[in-house]
Structure 1
């Protein structure tokens, strides 16, 4: 999904992000995993991977009846921002960073979407399906790309897919990366240490129940050791 070309050559040290799915009895799925091409994460890749995994697992656990999906998205942003502060990439209070949209420099999309008979279920209806009555999209960069702002109900299946990306067009934009670098929020020198982490996303399909969430795609390895083992076995 979302891949315009297939002309790249995989090289040692690269990460391979695969966003894919399958269909069973008419029901769609949508899963993303990120693999180290050599079978081993570098220290910097592993640090970011473990952060994204922490964000994702925490967000999956918040898929509960009555929860507002937008709040889950914002909570994921705070957890990501806190981790980036710990790594020295961002400076500031995590909640404040999310309010200002600084986390969206690296997580510029929504946390996920409804999934069902289509991968992006009912998306042809636009915000009439994705947004609850009385709610509308934010105009803030990043948050404005959130596809879903509904209170979750038992039986709903949603994707949870946080990520970390270094997109030059964002980081070099005067009103995005430039602004946060000038005011000291973004440390470009600290970010340079993570030059080999161009993009990581982890995505699962999660069923909202009357109790604990059910991660339907849990059998696909996503812990670092499991991912490395899977890639190593295929080499």
Structure 2
């Protein structure tokens, strides 16, 4: 019995971050921080996803992977080439709670999935209420199959720094995800149930030990 939990941490496999790995890790962590802060009663969960997506657009521009103004990139869904899923899901008796009922449970009446790749994989679009438990798990990924598919890449070719992307693909960059389980509260703000496991880059590396 009891309730489920869901959390993710990402570590550099060789025990230390390269500069670009650290920059993108910090981008994901900042996106998560903003999204968690947005988890207030009455807030639409899709808006929480968008808070994270905007932060990721900002970070991708700063890292030189996207070109342009972050808000314009967000409106064009350029982040979905890197942030390929929704920001989280309900959690309760099951890890992905109520998903056997599909969008009937995850989406409020009258709400439907957005059409863009990445955005359409958001599992939850309800207004948050006190006591609701959800995950917040933004990420940045370099998925070779996406970059080999012109249907995904060509509409955004003018804002993508393809040379920088290809360098990361050649390095087998992989991806970064940081996931917390939170509970929506009233006045005191969201409660982070998984905060006992550090997610700060300077804290996670020492946990790896040495070879």
Fold similarity call, TM over 0.5: yes
Distance (whole Å) between structure 1 residues aligned to residue 98 and residue 28 of structure 2 = 28
TM-score computed with the length of structure 1 as normaliser = 0.85
Matches within 5 A, 1:110-129: 110-129=86-105
- Higher percent of residues as strand: 1
- Higher percent of residues as helix: 2
Distance (whole Å) between structure 2 residues aligned to residue 203 and residue 102 of structure 1 = 22
Distance (whole Å) between structure 2 residues aligned to residue 198 and residue 39 of structure 1 = 15
1:193 Cα deviation after fit: 4.4
Distance (whole Å) between structure 1 residues aligned to residue 81 and residue 163 of structure 2 = 15
Which residue pairs with 1:36 in the alignment? Answer: 12
1:148 to 110, 124, 147: 124
Gaps of 5+ in 2: none
Partners of 1:69 and 1:148 within 8 A in 2: yes
Partners of 1:27 and 1:117 within 8 A in 2: yes
Matched, 1:189 2:163: yes
Partners of 1:49 and 1:200 within 8 A in 2: yes
Distance (whole Å) between structure 1 residues aligned to residue 116 and residue 18 of structure 2 = 34
Over 4 Å off, 4+ runs: none
Matched, 1:220 2:197: yes
Distance (whole Å) between structure 1 residues aligned to residue 168 and residue 117 of structure 2 = 23
Which residue pairs with 2:25 in the alignment? Answer: 49
Q: Secondary structure at the match of 2:11?
A: strand
Partners of 1:109 and 1:143 within 8 A in 2: yes
Tell me how large the CA RMSD over aligned residues is. Answer: 1.3
Equivalent pairs, count: 208
1:206 to 158, 182, 194: 182
Partners of 1:44 and 1:194 within 8 A in 2: no
1:74 Cα deviation after fit: 1.0
